[in-house]
Amino acid sequence: MRLFLAANLDAALRTRLYDAAAVLRDAAPGVSWVAPDRLHTTLKFLGEQDASVVPNIARAVATLGDTHDACNVRLHGYGAFPNFRRPKVVWIGGEPAEPLAAIAKAIDDACTALGLPREERLFRAHVTLGRVKRPLDRREALRLESTALARHEQFPWHVGSVEIMQSVLGRSGPTYTVLESIPLRASP
């Protein structure tokens, strides 16, 4: 089974993000845009794993609820990996990034202790809005960049839990299922 750990957004926030990104979709129809029910922040991608590892992962990350506080993040500022000239992923950033980065590190440490590979990429707090399957032509890339940089929406997000997710790939995109949810400690 294909697994990842995520901080999920509530349905209302997903809808608000998707609606705000309509101008980006109009500017770059060549991007494969993420459906609202799939919007989340990936904290660790595990890839294909045997189903038997799920309880071990759940036990390993269960301590997050004892050691990490729920946090408030502000989603704002659109960007692209690696950049808007050659975008592969279009995203909206999250600040402050430190609480999510600390949670992602704790998850990575717990999974590494189980023998799973350590994450090599630097964690960037973001929600993926779209993926570029084929290179955009220059005009579409420039239109996407200028539209994204002109946007200044901000979306408050309360991160209260971390979920172990299963992803099943299909013709119309992946289907995500929450396998386990680990509540974070209530902020004092």
Region 92-113: mean pLDDT is 96
The answer to whether residues 16 and 164 touch, using CB atoms and an 8 Å cutoff, is: no
The pTM for the full model equals: 0.94
Quick one: DSSP state of residue 37? G
Tokens of 52: 């038997």
Region 7-23: mean pLDDT is 97
Could you tell me the pLDDT band of residue 171, with boundaries at 50, 70 and 90?
A: confident
> What strands, in cross-sheet order, belong to the sheet with 71-81?
32-33, 126-131, 89-95, 71-81, 154-159
Supply the pLDDT for residue 188.
58
By C-alpha distance, which of 166, 7, 185, 188 is closest to 97?
7
Question: Helix, strand, coil shares of the chain as percentages rounded to 5?
Answer: 30, 35, 30
Domain 2-183 fold: Cyclic Phosphodiesterase; Chain: A, (3.90.1140)
Q: Is the pLDDT of residue 187 over 70?
A: no
